[in-house]
A and B are shown apart, each in its own frame.
Chain A
Amino acid sequence: MVGTGGAARTRIKRRSLVVLAAAASMAFAGSLGLAGSASAQIAELKIMAPAAPGGGWDQTARAIQSALTTSGIVKGAQVTNVPGAGGIVGLAQFVNSGKGDGSLIMVNGLVMVGAILTNKSPVTLEQVTPIARLTAENQAIVVPANSPIKNAQDLVAALKADPAKVTWAGGSAGGTDHILVGLLAKAVGVDPTKINYIPFSGGGEALAAILGSKVTAGVSGYGEFEGQIKAGKLRLIGIAAPARVAYIDGPTLKEQGVDLELINWRSVVAPPGLTKEQTANLVSIIDKMAKSPAWQETLKAKGWDDAYLSGDAFGSFLKNEQVRIADVLKSIGLTQ
């Protein structure tokens, strides 16, 4: 601001500076965070959201920030956004410059596992310290209400008849929705390289294509379809959950004979090179946060399912997911 500051002699100039300053403080206000009251071992926790403000990871990071500070688990928490390439730009920065930093965590999730592989990221999740899995979203398969496909069996039959003729609308290539279709093809014995998956950016466009019957079926988080399903414009074919979910009026794929489970999970991880004490401390902070009423309220308000799993159990879950996703991406033909 030095350049303009020098010229700030006239009133007009000062006004534009005020506007500028207001805009700048606006832009950064979001990342300042509120000061907590109680004391803890970590004065200020830094939370990286490897995505632009507004998306799922950013919302998770800000929810963690607010739960931690309102419950007084840490004195302060700060969210930084490092967007880019499915989170791997943030991941690279996190691993390279965060090494040994016991007051830094990063939000990530299933999408990052896929993005690391498809983008051939030099840095992987092998390098981070797993802390905890926090939330999950049920993945749903839907068809337009006027579709002849009534259930999972019909869909599988159509897929087996000619995989290319079944068009799928979903999110980005190699993302959760694409992975689900790949896993489904594998589960029912259809060649996953033959699936006709059409990626759309942003949920709105994909949903419009499904509603307009431009595609055979659609895949996304259940929340994106909920309103349309309730209004009778979309038919829920099944959810990829291990068992029925109380608030979803519809069957799982599993009970319809398709052996497939996939949840879109989000978690937090810490940088590499932490001591045992540092790791244990972070796990206990997140443990406390996950139990706090503030966090539970957020889950309810946002419609996120609690999928809490921490420490070593989460570590082995993360390992398994990496193997499974690597396998399915290879069979779809997205990676070698």
Chain B
Amino acid sequence: MEAFPSLLHGLSVAIQPMNLVFAIIGVFLGTAVGVLPGIGPALTVALLLPVTYKLDPGGSLIMFAGIYYGGMYGGSTTAILINTPGESASLATAIEGNKMAKAGRGGPALATSAIGSFVAGTIATLGIAFLAPWLVEVAINFGPADYFALMVLAFVTVSATFGASPLRGLTSLFIGLALGLVGIDELSGQARLHYGVPDLLDGIEVTTLAVGLFAVGEALYVASRHKGAPEKLEPVRGSLWMTREDWKRSWKPWLRGTAYGFPIGALPAGGAEIPTFLSYATEKRLAKHPEEFGHGAIEGVAGPEAANNASAAGTLVPLLTLGLPTSATAAMMLAGFQQYNLNPGPLLFAERPELVWGLIASLFIANTMLLVLNLPLVGLWVKLLAIPQHWLYAGILVFATMGTIAAKPSVVELSMLLVFGLMGFLMRRYDYPVAPVVIGLILGPMAEQQLRRALAISLGDPIALVESPLAAGLLGLSFLALIAPFVLKGLDRFKADED
């Protein structure tokens, strides 16, 4: 295997002092900007691209890698601390992470997220180095029917976020699915449910919905409860760091999250959201204390966070081997390559090995930097929760609004944020879970498009949906996951009758 010496050579490139500096700058900027909801890593890279015209290609790409990882991590920090997922991939983190923070366990939540990201990033980077050529063959053979089957599997897992009542959970999910219909239908080019508002033609932005439902909704809810007995937030209860028990409960979810994130991230239409949902559902099912889920289970942070970062590394597989940008950030990195007249693709590994291996090696460096930068900050971040509630939530509102405006300066967007905030408040007030709404908005349109694409290619023949062994396997798995709980319950009852 020639990958190993190449990787070592790459490390020697990445470890040059100047490149280390670029990695630090990248990670810092990425984290700082990732903290703002709405401004994701892609936007950051886009805005920084002109600045790097004069830098050498290696250095600036290394910086971009840092921004990418940093942005992923920054989004989880706000998800955990103030229930504001910075991007859709940190949605699953917010569900348990924020509950942990409120119970005074923000420190361990941030730590398991940082270390999990590190572990996942490192394993996934090794994956790029050794598995990329093989994985990419699998990835391009993944057709619309296979994607549809993957989405179905993801849908089955949604029930993990339902909370106590399946009916309320399904109601939330269908609200999300309905919101997902808004905008131009990608396959026919026709507009749906836009009521003549041009801003709605692009559909509803996931981050606007998530920030509205989670952050604004919660701020309103807290304000409405304030008169009675204000909820006391304890910034730190017990250890600030992860206990032995926390480590024990975290390491398996990290590995499982990586196993979901990396391959799905490498799929051209895989994305970062699906692996986080799958990981969350898996952890809930496998946990020793499933009753803790919904009240701050560390597994529910560790798994999705690892999946999130591993998928970020996964998207680099098709980018480097085929020149396929499969996420907004990867598209920006492609633009970064092109500005130096480099064409990522099958020839890049052969033509500019020092650059590719330098980038892969710099992912290790960026990952390590991320840990070095963020672990000491955990103590500081957690103290944010010590701020009196009225200040904290006022700050969150400003923060949420600013992020939304910075991402899309439009009155309609802001109004949507407010409406979703009100909706989030009412849902909390009447005890409907909010996460399924966002999941519906993310998965609905994806599943619809892949299904219709698959059927268009097969000229309407539904057999095409199960023709590929992969699709059939995934659908079978979803079916099992769907009926297993009922069967097990039935068996239990059966056994009970026997006694």
Residues in B127-155 with C-beta less than 8 Å from chain A: 139-144
Q: How far is the CB of B252 from chain A (nearest CB, A)?
A: 32
Chain A residue nearest in CB terms to B28: A22
Q: Say whether, besides A92-B198, A199-B186, A228-B323, A3 and B398 are in contact (CB < 8 Å).
A: yes
Identify A85's interface contact among B35, B184, B328, B384, CB under 8 A.
B184
- Contact check, A1 vs B32: say whether CB atoms are below 8 A apart: no
**B47 CB contacts on chain A under 8 angstroms:** 26-27, 29-30, 53
Q: Say whether, besides A16-B384, A119-B201, A204 and B326 are in contact (CB < 8 Å).
A: yes
**A36 CB contacts on chain B under 8 angstroms:** none
**B323 CB contacts on chain A under 8 angstroms:** 207, 227-228
- Contact check, A204 vs B387: say whether CB atoms are below 8 A apart: no
- Contact check, A214 vs B391: say whether CB atoms are below 8 A apart: no
**A173 CB contacts on chain B under 8 angstroms:** 184-189
**B318 CB contacts on chain A under 8 angstroms:** 204, 208
Chain B residue nearest in CB terms to A233: B346
Chain B residue nearest in CB terms to A34: B50
- Contact check, B322 vs A207: say whether CB atoms are below 8 A apart: yes
**A233 CB contacts on chain B under 8 angstroms:** 346
Q: How far is the CB of A118 from chain B (nearest CB, A)?
A: 5
- Contact check, A54 vs B335: say whether CB atoms are below 8 A apart: yes
**A174 CB contacts on chain B under 8 angstroms:** 189
B372 at the interface (CB under 8 A from A): no
Q: How far is the CB of B24 from chain A (nearest CB, A)?
A: 14
- Contact check, A54 vs B346: say whether CB atoms are below 8 A apart: no
Q: How far is the CA of A201 from the CA of B183 in the complex (A)?
A: 14
- Contact check, A207 vs B187: say whether CB atoms are below 8 A apart: no
Residues in B383-433 with C-beta less than 8 Å from chain A: 383-384, 386-388, 391, 394-395, 397-399, 402, 406, 408-410
Chain A residue nearest in CB terms to B45: A54
Residues in A156-186 with C-beta less than 8 Å from chain B: 164-165, 167, 172-174, 178
- Contact check, A119 vs B33: say whether CB atoms are below 8 A apart: no
- Contact check, A228 vs B346: say whether CB atoms are below 8 A apart: yes
Chain A residue nearest in CB terms to B350: A231
- Contact check, B325 vs A227: say whether CB atoms are below 8 A apart: no
User: Which of B44, B201, B383 is the most central at the interface, judged by chain A CB atoms within 10 Å of its CB?
Assistant: B201
Q: How far is the CA of A165 from the CA of B460 in the complex (A)?
A: 11
**A28 CB contacts on chain B under 8 angstroms:** 406
Q: How far is the CB of B367 from chain A (nearest CB, A)?
A: 21
Identify A84's interface contact among B190, B199, B331, CB under 8 A.
B199
Q: How far is the CB of B67 from chain A (nearest CB, A)?
A: 10
Q: Interface stretch among B160-168, B274-282, B336-344?
A: B336-344
User: Which of A118, A165, A178 is the most central at the interface, judged by chain B CB atoms within 10 Å of its CB?
Assistant: A118
**A198 CB contacts on chain B under 8 angstroms:** 187, 453, 456-457
Identify B398's interface contact among A1, A22, A167, A303, CB under 8 A.
A1
**A92 CB contacts on chain B under 8 angstroms:** 198
Chain A residue nearest in CB terms to B401: A3
A4 at the interface (CB under 8 A from B): yes
Q: How far is the CA of A15 from the CA of B376 in the complex (A)?
A: 14
- Contact check, B143 vs A214: say whether CB atoms are below 8 A apart: yes
Residues in B162-199 with C-beta less than 8 Å from chain A: 184-191, 198-199
Residues in B207-225 with C-beta less than 8 Å from chain A: none
Q: Say whether, besides A208-B268, A227-B346, A227-B347, A84 and B191 are in contact (CB < 8 Å).
A: no
Q: How far is the CB of A318 from chain B (nearest CB, A)?
A: 21
**A209 CB contacts on chain B under 8 angstroms:** 143-144
- Contact check, A202 vs B39: say whether CB atoms are below 8 A apart: no
**B50 CB contacts on chain A under 8 angstroms:** 30, 62, 66
B8 at the interface (CB under 8 A from A): no
- Contact check, B32 vs A12: say whether CB atoms are below 8 A apart: no
B345 at the interface (CB under 8 A from A): yes
**A303 CB contacts on chain B under 8 angstroms:** 338
**B141 CB contacts on chain A under 8 angstroms:** 212
Residues in B319-333 with C-beta less than 8 Å from chain A: 322-326, 328, 330-332
Identify B406's interface contact among A24, A83, A334, CB under 8 A.
A24
Residues in B18-45 with C-beta less than 8 Å from chain A: 29, 32-33, 35-36, 39, 42-45
B459 at the interface (CB under 8 A from A): yes
Chain A residue nearest in CB terms to B324: A204
Q: How far is the CB of B246 from chain A (nearest CB, A)?
A: 24
- Contact check, B325 vs A84: say whether CB atoms are below 8 A apart: no
Q: How far is the CB of B22 from chain A (nearest CB, A)?
A: 16
**A205 CB contacts on chain B under 8 angstroms:** 268-269, 326
**B341 CB contacts on chain A under 8 angstroms:** 301
Interface string of A191-206 (1 = CB under 8 A from B): 0000010111111110
A89 at the interface (CB under 8 A from B): yes
A129 at the interface (CB under 8 A from B): no
Residues in A104-159 with C-beta less than 8 Å from chain B: 118-121
Q: How far is the CB of B181 from chain A (nearest CB, A)?
A: 16
Residues in A259-305 with C-beta less than 8 Å from chain B: 301-303
- Contact check, A164 vs B268: say whether CB atoms are below 8 A apart: no
**A231 CB contacts on chain B under 8 angstroms:** 345-347
- Contact check, A215 vs B457: say whether CB atoms are below 8 A apart: yes
Q: How far is the CA of A212 from the CA of B141 in the complex (A)?
A: 5
**B326 CB contacts on chain A under 8 angstroms:** 202, 204-205, 208
Residues in A27-63 with C-beta less than 8 Å from chain B: 27-30, 52-54, 58-59, 62
16 A-B pairs whose Cβ atoms sit less than 8 Å apart in the complex: A3-B395, A22-B32, A53-B43, A54-B46, A118-B184, A119-B191, A121-B198, A199-B187, A205-B326, A209-B144, A212-B143, A227-B322, A227-B343, A228-B346, A301-B341, A334-B190
Give B residues with C-beta under 8 Å from A.
29, 32-33, 35-36, 39, 42-50, 139-144, 184-191, 198-199, 201-202, 268-269, 318, 322-326, 328, 330-332, 335, 338-339, 341, 343-348, 380, 383-384, 386-388, 391, 394-395, 397-399, 402, 406, 408-410, 453, 456-457, 459
